[in-house]
Amino acid sequence: MKEIIYKPIGIIRSPYKEPKGVPIQPTAAKGIEGRVEVYKEFSEGLKDLEGFSHIILLYHFHLIGDSKLIVKPYMDENYHGVFATRAPSRPNPIGLSIVRLMKIDDNILYIKDVDIVDETPLIDIKPLVSEFDFRNVEKIGWLDRNVSKLPDSKDDGRFLKK
């Protein structure tokens, strides 16, 4: 297969200047404000987005080191396959966050519940639609015994470039 290359459509702004200390999921970043600066050449694509309360941000983990297929995730002391985790150290370091869309001013999206490092390259934006995106989840694997740790879990720098 040929190499896949994506061009960032914007940049994410947040109060977090480095990964260490960032909440590891948007639900643990309640109320944290940020913004998305969509590059002008893509701003026409924002038409009608203001009608959605939540959006999905897809972004590039630009500060992450080499990927590993076996990782020790933030909320567990055991090692797991990377695809059974949400660890940022991945073969394709793509992040996904669901954030609250507060308002749009031209090409700037004002958002809340931000768990993303400042200056993170944005790959795509999608509206969150409960009828499309939510399922009755029956099993959450190894996280079942660890999900209660989420409110206190922060990035500790273990996946950074060295």
Is the confidence at residue 7, as pLDDT, over 90? yes
3-state secondary structure of 63: coil
**Into how many domains does the chain fold?**
1
Domain of 68 in residue numbering reads as: 10-129
pLDDT in tens, 23-54: 878 887 889 999 999 999 999 999 999 999 99
Q: What is the CATH number of the domain that holds 54?
A: 2.40.30.70
Question: Is residue 145 one of the residues assigned to a domain?
Answer: no
pLDDT in tens, 123-144: 999 999 988 888 787 776 777 7
Q: What pTM value is reported for the model? A: 0.88
Q: Is 72 exposed, middle or buried (0-12, 13-18, 19+ CB in 10 A)?
A: middle
Question: Is residue 152 one of the residues assigned to a domain?
Answer: no
Question: Is residue 147 one of the residues assigned to a domain?
Answer: no
Question: Is residue 3 one of the residues assigned to a domain?
Answer: no
Letter for the amino acid at 116?
Answer: I
Mean pLDDT of 87-113: 96
pLDDT in tens, 101-115: 999 999 999 999 999
For the chain, what percent of residues have pLDDT higher than 90? 62
